Amino acid sequence: MGQLLNDGNVVAFEPHPANVKRLQENAALNNVQVEIRPVALSNEHGTSKLDVSGEDGQAGVGTHSLSTGDIGRTIQIDMIEGDRLIEESEIPPPSVIKIDVEGAEQLVLEGLSSALESEQCHTIYCEVHPDRISDFGGSEQELRELLNINGYTIQIIKNRSPEYFLKAYQ
């Protein structure tokens, strides 16, 4: 049984247009208030390409990730740092973060460095892709160090080799 959010806001970031539509439909079907932002969180502001070549680019099927330059079908997307959105009061500071970005998890965390330093952000759930994180200029060790230096304890909650799910909490 899932947990119910009694107080607060849910903000979702999803750069794939068809997935945005599915999120909107799902939120409406479940009568859940979710602010959906059609951008990717990263460590910089700008545009990038999203690889949608797997499973014919269908929403919610296969793996969609920031493009690493491989040949495949891509779409252009907007990227922004989470800290920037918080500083500009576009979103509230997070207390819980959930990340599933197919190898770009370190980029998302780097773009949320001020939020991570805050005691308000007490829990992070992250799907880690050790075999893909270097494609985005990071490493599994650097990701763990980023969490550790900000006072988070890391717990592996599920292993689905090669990726795994971690919970980082203060």
pLDDT in tens, 117-149: 998 999 999 999 999 999 999 999 999 999 999
- Which of the 8 DSSP states describes residue 59? T
pLDDT attached to residue 2: 54
CATH number at residue 119: 3.40.50.150
User: Domain span at residue 135?
Assistant: 11-169
pTM: 0.86
Structural domain contains residue 119:
yes
Closest Cα partner for 103 from 141, 134, 71?
A: 134
Structural domain contains residue 164:
yes
Q: List the helix and strand counts (H, then E) for the chain.
A: 5, 10
On the 0-12 / 13-18 / 19+ scale of CB atoms within 10 A, 21 is middle
Structural domain contains residue 74:
yes
Across the beta sheet with 65-66, the strand order is 40-42, 74-81, 46-51, 65-66
Domain count, the chain: 1
φ/ψ region of 102 (left if φ > 0, alpha if ψ in -120 to 50, else beta) reads: left
pLDDT digits (tens, 9 = 90+) for 45-103: 999 998 887 655 444 444 445 545 555 688 999 999 999 999 999 999 999 999 999 99
